[in-house]
Amino acid sequence: MNFENIIDAKSEWLNADGPNSDIVISSRIRLARNIKGYPFPHRGEHNSNIEIMEIILSALKKTGFFKGGFIVKMSDLSDLDKQMLLEKHLISKEHLIGQIGSAVAVSKNHDLSVMVNEEDHLRLQVLKAGFRLDECWNLINSFDSELEKYLDFAFSPNLGYLTSCPTNVGTGMRASVMIHLPGLVLMDLINKVMQAVLKLGLAVRGFYGEGSEILGNLFQVSNQITLGKKEYEIISSITRVLDLVIEHERNSREMLRKTGEEKLKDRIGRAYGILTNAYLISTKETIALLSALRLGMDMEYISGIDKGTINELFILTQPAHLQLKTGQALDPDARDIKRAKLIREKLGTNKINDK
């Protein structure tokens, strides 16, 4: 797959399968790594960062993990290309800004990606659909071990892997889960549950990670500390907490069914009606309505729509995707028109003549 084809390629993590996929959208594990003997990216000179990039890109090509995917320098991408990678959750907001010597590598099905010279020399990432932290770890551990054949990572026998941010020192691991919690939101229990999650040492972030807004009842929950903890301990800790959050969400959905089913059906039905008939729709409204539609499908109020399509629409309706698909820059009003048309086409239920 060439980079030009990524806009049409479906990411495997959007498939809506895997354990607890009615609530957990995706699981992700990131590893931070740095090359021994070189300054961290933000402390390095331009020439140093470029040298690091070339060393890393050479190693990535040798691993064979990116056959059918792509490896590209950020300087070769347009602003829209970079924004599209962010919308697909393949790079971070920090990497979007970019700096001299930054690059990105993505596997064919988008489950594995690498950011070069973001906050650290390497940020390895694995994304899987559903609650699959163990599978994420198995893949990223295998890839990390393969990379170590070609790269000498900065490592301390006492501290572990050395990273730009002290909170990542040790394993360099961030394990996170994107979780859909409309039941807790509608029952007005979300703040209570999230406060409990924070007290247990986990972080709660928005749709695009740290510093981003909570949209569509989608939350990212991740570990905060890596130093002094082994990888399996981090995964076990977040799994125990998320199992409880999932249980609370299921209980909330059942309570909604028992105490206000008609109101719930009305909310879901209105979301369905707007999505399948709107001719102008904003990004925020789209995400909120898709959240309601997902809830209706998960609670079996709506059938005949693929949940993977709903997950995909969370991404395809973002601004950069719409513009790259159209092949031209679009102002907000034009994007709202294109977004509504795309949703009608994807859901395939609109009866109004679009000519």
pLDDT of residue 210: 56
pTM for this predicted structure: 0.90
Burial of 188 (0-12, 13-18, 19+ CB in 10 A): exposed
Neighbours of 327 (CB within 10 A): 6
| Whole-number Cα distances in Å, 178 to 167, 220, 249 | 21, 4, 14
CB atoms within 10 A of CB 213: 10
Helix orientation angle between 332-347 and 319-326, rounded to the nearest 10 degrees: 80
29 membership: H or E segment, kind and range? strand 24-33
- Which helix (H) or strand (E) is 33 found in, with range? strand 24-33
Q: What is the dihedral of CA 85, 91, 93, 97, to 10 degrees?
A: -80
Burial class (CB in 10 A: 0-12, 13-18, 19+), 189: middle
What does each of the 355 residues of the chain score in pLDDT, given as a tens digit?
566 667 667 788 888 888 999 999 999 999 999 999 999 988 767 788 999 999 999 999 999 999 989 999 999 999 999 999 999 999 998 898 877 899 999 999 999 999 999 999 999 999 999 999 999 999 999 999 999 999 999 999 989 999 998 888 899 999 999 999 999 999 999 999 999 999 988 999 876 655 556 778 999 999 987 777 889 999 999 999 999 999 999 999 999 999 999 999 999 999 999 999 999 999 999 999 999 999 999 999 998 898 999 999 999 999 999 999 888 899 999 999 999 999 999 997 644 444 3
Per the CB < 8 A criterion, the answer to whether 250 and 304 are in contact is: no
Interatomic CA distance for residues 221 and 327, integer angstroms: 35
Query: For residue 126, what are its two tokens?
Result: 């694995």
Predicted pLDDT of residue 138: 97
Sole residue written with tokens 């994107």: 178
